[in-house]
Amino acid sequence: MATARRPRQLDDLITIGQGRVRTAPLDVTDDAQALAAVEQTIAEFGRIDVLVNNAGHGSVGAVEELDLAELRALMDVMFFGAVAVTKAALPHMRAQRSGAIVQLSSMGGQLSMPGFGAYCSAKFALEGLSEALAAEVAPFGVRVLIVEPGAFRTEFGGHRMHRSRIIEDYAVSTASTRAAVDAMDGAQPGDPVKAARAILEALGSTEPPLRLALGNDAVDHLTAHHELLRAELARWEKLSRSTDLD
């Protein structure tokens, strides 16, 4: 079952699927539509084996440059929308004692950078919730896979990337991010087809990971970030440990 706010956008997928693909309208910010899409899936297929939460778009701008209404709208889609669809599917997965939930996060779900505060905040929230969810549903045979892609050849850096108003003072910290976003459109190193195959391979594993980084850039950036975190923790360990009651 493929979903979109405008299902006509999925006509090519229906053709490629040769009768195996069904579509349903879904605006993830509409709780009723989330429930309806799940119920339609159950009615047509009898069960849900894998749920993939992939709705969202990019956003670039310093925190002060962000419009709060736009930030709330982004969180509604990328965090609360994913939660709504997940909650709609969970009763069925729990009842059938099987299933997998794939949360499309980002390497930005573990690390943030100037200009990506809004986007990364949504991904951080999704990962925090999903890590707890994974432990909660494991006893029912339901798995959670958090996918953390780097830059893949999609429309992420193109017209779907929201750009906040510019405050000139922040050019010193975010101009390079804005320039990189503009430059990467159509030049991303990641292959979406290979990403899909990697996700399927992970789902088919007898010991699947909780998190799956995709792309050399994601692995390199996450490795460097973890090393920085470990170094900072070690540097301040004595002070950190000094705060318990005597």
Look at residue 183 and tell me whether its pLDDT is greater than 80: no
Catalytic residue among 59, 106, 123, 130: 123
Q: Is 105 a catalytic residue?
A: yes
Element (H, E) at 160: none
The enclosing H or E element of 189 equals none
Confidence (pTM): 0.93
Q: Is there a contact between 192 and 152 (Cβ–Cβ < 8 Å)? A: yes
Residue 208 has what DSSP assignment? -
Q: What is the pLDDT of residues 41-92, one digit of tens each?
A: 999 999 999 999 999 888 899 999 999 999 999 999 999 999 999 999 999 9
Active site residue 194: no
Give the H or E element holding residue 190. none
Does residue 123 have an active-site annotation?
Answer: yes
Predicted confidence band at 158 (pLDDT cuts at 50, 70, 90)?
Answer: low
Instruction: Provide mean pLDDT across the span 139-158.
Output: 87
Domain with CATH 3.40.50.720 in the chain: 48-217
Give buried/exposed letters for 184-216 (b at 16+ CB in 10 A, else e): bbeebebeeeebeebbeebeeeeeeeebbbbbe
For domain 48-217, the CATH superfamily is NAD(P)-binding Rossmann-like Domain (3.40.50.720)
